[in-house]
Amino acid sequence: MITIAVSKGRIYEEALPLLAKMGIEPIDNPETSRKLILPTTREDVQLIIIRATDVPTFVEYGAADFGIAGKDVLLEHGSENLYEPIDLNIACCKLMTAAHKDAPPISGRVRVATKYVTIAQQYFASLGIQAEIIKLYGSMELAPLVGLADCIVDLVDTGNTLRANQLEPRELIMHISSRLVVNKAAMKMKNAAVAALLTQFEQTLIENHS
């Protein structure tokens, strides 16, 4: 049995058509089912739909053989113990700094609100900027508005939420897309099954772009 862990939300929605082309479709609707492990139309594959930040942990420790998660989550987690063979090119967005539209350019010491603590620390250190990182789990846009932070580091897609709160995107830190990651032990213990599924992912992506 091969277990694939998929991030909830947009990544799951955009991964579904890709998996369906591979003959992998959940038998139960995860929106209505109470099952935590979803059997699929392939007897040898099951899905678990979990929080994005948990995907690399499940894969690293072997609770899932494969995972589909954003590059932002993988970098923040630290993916040294994961094999990351394929960029699925889904759920694409940008990781950026953002600040109030009237705020001056960042210089000197800065206070940054983000859930991407590691990435933000590395980014500002690379610029030689001393940054105090404040970890938040949501509502990042609120931080500059109430004086909690000078700027934020967050994912930006359309930018509509930023604009609605008088914020604007500033510096691009990196482009983000969802990646396929594999448990390193599964590469050895389930080599044939894992290799076959990897090939199928690659072929399906090629067909999508042809």
Tell me what pLDDT residue 80 has: 81
Q: What is the pLDDT of residues 145-161, one digit of tens each?
A: 999 999 999 999 988 99
Residue 201 has pLDDT above 90, yes or no: yes
Dihedrals φ, ψ of 38, to 5°? -100, 115
Residue 210 has pLDDT above 80, yes or no: no
Tell me what pLDDT residue 20 has: 96
Q: Token pair of 78, please?
A: 């630290």
- Complete DSSP assignment for 24-90: --BSS-TTT---SSEEBSSTTEEEEEE-GGGHHHHHHTTS-SEEEEEHHHHHHH--TTEEEEEE---
The whole-chain average pLDDT of the chain stands at 94
Burial level of 178, CB count in 10 A (0-12/13-18/19+)?
Answer: buried
Pick from 140, 167, 168: nearest CA to 154: 140
Tell me what pLDDT residue 171 has: 95
Pick from 67, 42, 43: nearest CA to 54: 67
User: Which positions ≥6 away from 156 have C-beta within 8 Å?
Assistant: 93, 94, 95, 96, 98, 162, 169
Domains of the chain, each with CATH number or no CATH: 2-91+177-209 (3.40.190.10), 93-175 (3.40.190.10)
Q: Of all residues in the chain, what percent carry a pLDDT higher than 90?
A: 88
Tell me what pLDDT residue 32 has: 82
pLDDT grade for 108, boundaries at 50, 70 and 90: confident
Residue 89 has pLDDT above 90, yes or no: yes
Tell me what pLDDT residue 107 has: 77
Tell me what pLDDT residue 61 has: 96
Which helix (H) or strand (E) segment holds residue 94: the answer is: strand 93-100
Dihedrals φ, ψ of 44, to 5°? -95, 5
Question: Averaged over 94-102, what is the pLDDT?
Answer: 96
Q: What is the pLDDT of residues 125-143, one digit of tens each?
A: 999 999 999 999 989 999 9
Tell me what pLDDT residue 103 has: 92
Tell me what pLDDT residue 131 has: 96
Tell me what pLDDT residue 81 has: 84
Tell me what pLDDT residue 31 has: 78
CA 149 to the chain's CA centroid? 24
